[in-house]
Amino acid sequence: MGIEFDDVAVSRLIACLTDVALRLRASGAGRRASAERALQDFHGAYARLFAAARTIESEDRGRLTRALEDLTVQLHVVTRQADEERHRLEARVAWQERERRRDHALVAVGVPPGSVLDWASGAWDPEPSATPVRPTPVSAAFRARPRQRSASGSGSESGSGDAGGGRSGAGGRSGADPRRLREFSVSAGVQDAATEQDLHRVRNAWAGFTARCAWVPVDEATLVAGFGDHLAEDVEDTAWVRRIANAFAAAGSGVSLADGVLDVAGTSTLPTGLQRVFDPAVTSAEVAAAWSELGLSEHDLRALPLTTTLQIANLDGVPAAARDIASRAVLRAALGNPERVYRMLGLRYTHGAVTMDEFRQQVAALWKGVRRADRLAQELESPSAAVAQLVGFGATDGALVAAVSLGDLDTASNVTVNVPGATTTLDSTDGQVRAAAGLLRGAVRLAPASSFAVVSWIGYRAPELVEVPAHRRAVTGGVELASFVDGVRDSRHGNAPGRLTVLGHSYGSAVAVEAAAQTRHRVDAVVTYGSVGFTDDTRPEHLNVRQVFATEGEQDHTARLGRIGRTDPRDLPGVHVFSSEAGPGTESVTGHDMYPPTGVGYLSPDATAQRHIIEIIATGRPG
C-alpha cells in the first residue's frame, strides 16, 4: 500500500528549479547592461521598439523567476503532505495488526466481541485517521508576452516624438551605432544558449515529476511552454537586432535609415519551416518532423548562408547526412577564416572560452580526425561503414565541441555513442576516431548481418582535473548528450536503430548517466569504463536504460582517485560488472587512458575491456 510519489523525481525538480531561478535572476543584469550600451546613439522608432522589448523581457524574466520559485515552494508542501499520508497509511496498517491480535487474545480467553472488556482493551490505542491526506494541487503557470519588432503598425507604442528628427512609425527614420548593436546580439546570443540549456533541464525534470508523481494533481501546467515562449522571444530579439545592425553597417557610418527599410531588414527571411526548426522551444522530435516537411536537397543545404549552416550543424533531430554537410561547411570556414567563425560562435565574448590560438589548433585537429575517419570508413567492412559523418561542430560553455560518426548514423541498425572523460578537447579527435574504428571492426566480426555506427561524441566542455570532484560539467554535458541521443532516434522517423549503446570513459561515465536520466527514448545499455563514479542519489533504476555495465582495471589508480565523494558503479545492485584484466588472447589495462599511444588502454586493440565492450555493443552482453 502506498502513493504514487517519487521523492527522487521531486528532489531533482526542486534542485533544477532553484538553480535555474538563480541563473535567470543573475543573468538579468548582464542583459540590461548590454541593452543600455546598445541604446547609446540609437534613436527613432526602432530605438523605442528596442527599449520596449527590453522592458518586456526584463519584466517577464522576473515573472518567470518568481514562477519557478513559487513552484519550488509548492513542491516542498506536497512533499510534506506525501510524508504525512505515508505515515498515516503505515500507522493504520500497524494499528489494524494490533487490533487483530487483541481480538484474537480476547476470543482465546472467552471475551465476546463488542463487550466492555473488548472496548476497553482498545481504548488506549485509538484508531488512526481513515481520512486520506489530500495533496494541495500544484500550479505551474507562466505565459510570456509577445514583443513588437516592426515600426509599421506599432501605433501609439512608438510614441509621438522622434529623436532622429523623422516621423514616428514606418514613415520616420532611425539611426544607431551598428557596432554596439552587434555587441548586444553576440552577448545576448551567449545568454540565450545558456537559457536554452536551462529550459531543457526544467522540461526534463518536470516530465519526470509528472510521470512519477501522479498522486499530486496539477491545476495548470503552462510554465514549461511559457518558458519556451520567453526564450523564443529572446532568441528572436537577438536575431532581430543583428539584422538591424547589418543594415546600418551596410548603409555606412553615421547615417539614418527609413523605418520602412528597417522593417524589411529586421524581418527574418527564413522560410516558415526553417523558423520552426530553429525554434529553441521545440523538441528533437518536432525538429525532425519540421525538417522532413522542408524537403531540402543537398544543393539547397550547400547554398545556405554560414549563419544558418552553423545552426543546422548543431541541431539535434536533423538527419546525420544533413548535419554532416553543414558541419563540414562550418569546419572549412573555420579553417579558412578562423577569426570570423570564432566571433560567430560567440567565443570572443564568453568568459573562459578557448583562445584564438587554441581555436586554430583544435580546428586543425578536428580536420585531421575527420580526414582519418573518411579513410577508415573506406577500409572497414560493413554495410554502413563506407561513410564517415561529422554530425556537429560548434561551441558549448566556451569550448569547441563536435561529434564524428564512423558508419551511417541515418541507417545503421546498431548505434554506439562514446563519451570521453576529463580534459578532453578536439585535439584528441584522431585518437577517438581510431578507437571507434576498433570497436566497429570487432562488432562487425561478431554480428556481420548488422550495420554499425560508432560516434565519437566530444559534445560537452570536459572538466579540468581540478573540476573533476564537482558535478557541474556532468550535469550540463548530460543535457547535451540526452538531446543528441534522442535526436538520433527522432531523425530516423520510425526507422530507429535496433540497439543503441552509450559508453562513458572516466568523467564521461558521469555525463552518460546524467543523460540516461533525461532521455525520452530508452537506451539499451550504458557502459562505464574507468568511471569517476555516480552521485549518491543515482541508481540504475532511476535511469531510462535497460542495462548498466561497468569495468575498471586494477592498475587504473586515476579512476579511484577521481571517484572520491562518488559511488563506484560496480558496487551498485543491478550493475553488470566485467573484467579489464588479462584473459585468453587479451591484455589487461595498464592505466586510465581510453586509447593511449603506448601501453594498453580500455579501447586499445587486444585489450580485454575492448573485447567485452564490443560484445556488449554487438550482442548485448559480455562473452
Collect all residues with Cβ–Cβ distance below 8 Å to 203 and sequence separation of at least 6: 224, 227, 228
pLDDT tens, residue by residue, 323-377? 999 999 999 999 999 999 999 999 988 889 999 999 999 999 999 999 999 999 9
Residue 279 reports pLDDT greater than 50 = yes
Average pLDDT over residues 188-194: 91
Alpha-carbon distance of 120 to 107, in angstroms, equals 14
Collect all residues with Cβ–Cβ distance below 8 Å to 556 and sequence separation of at least 6: 530, 580, 589, 591, 592
* The C-alpha cell that represents 571 in the structure block: 558496487
Average pLDDT over residues 562-567: 90
The answer to whether 528 touches 547, Cβ cutoff 8 Å, is no
Average pLDDT over residues 84-106: 88
How does residue 266 score in pLDDT terms, banded at 50, 70 and 90? confident
Residue 9's alpha-carbon distances to 14, 144, 202, 229, 375, in angstroms, are 9, 26, 12, 25, 46
| Predicted pLDDT at 164 | 37
Note the pTM of the prediction, 2 decimals: 0.72
Residue type, 473: R
| Predicted pLDDT at 173 | 86
The answer to whether 432 touches 595, Cβ cutoff 8 Å, is yes
| Predicted pLDDT at 151 | 82
How does residue 537 score in pLDDT terms, banded at 50, 70 and 90? confident
Alpha-carbon distance of 209 to 12, in angstroms, equals 9
Residue type, 142: F
- With residue 379 as reference, give the H or E element that holds it: helix 356-379
pLDDT tens, residue by residue, 579-589? 999 999 999 99
Residue 445 reports pLDDT greater than 90 = yes
Average pLDDT over residues 540-546: 91
| Predicted pLDDT at 153 | 53
Average pLDDT over residues 473-495: 95
Alpha-carbon distance of 199 to 231, in angstroms, equals 8
How does residue 381 score in pLDDT terms, banded at 50, 70 and 90? low
SS3 559: helix
Ramachandran category for residue 606: left, alpha or beta (phi over 0 → left; psi -120 to 50 → alpha): left
Q: How many CA atoms lie within 13 A of 55 on its CB side?
A: 8
* The C-alpha cell that represents 159 in the structure block: 510614441
Average pLDDT over residues 61-77: 97
DSSP assigned state of 170: G
* Residues 159-184: b if buried by 16+ CB within 10 A, e if exposed: beebebebbbbbebbbbbbbebbbbb
Alpha-carbon distance of 519 to 420, in angstroms, equals 19
Greatest CA separation found in the chain?
107
Phi and psi angles of residue 7, each rounded to the nearest 5 degrees, phi first: -60, -35
How does residue 477 score in pLDDT terms, banded at 50, 70 and 90? very high
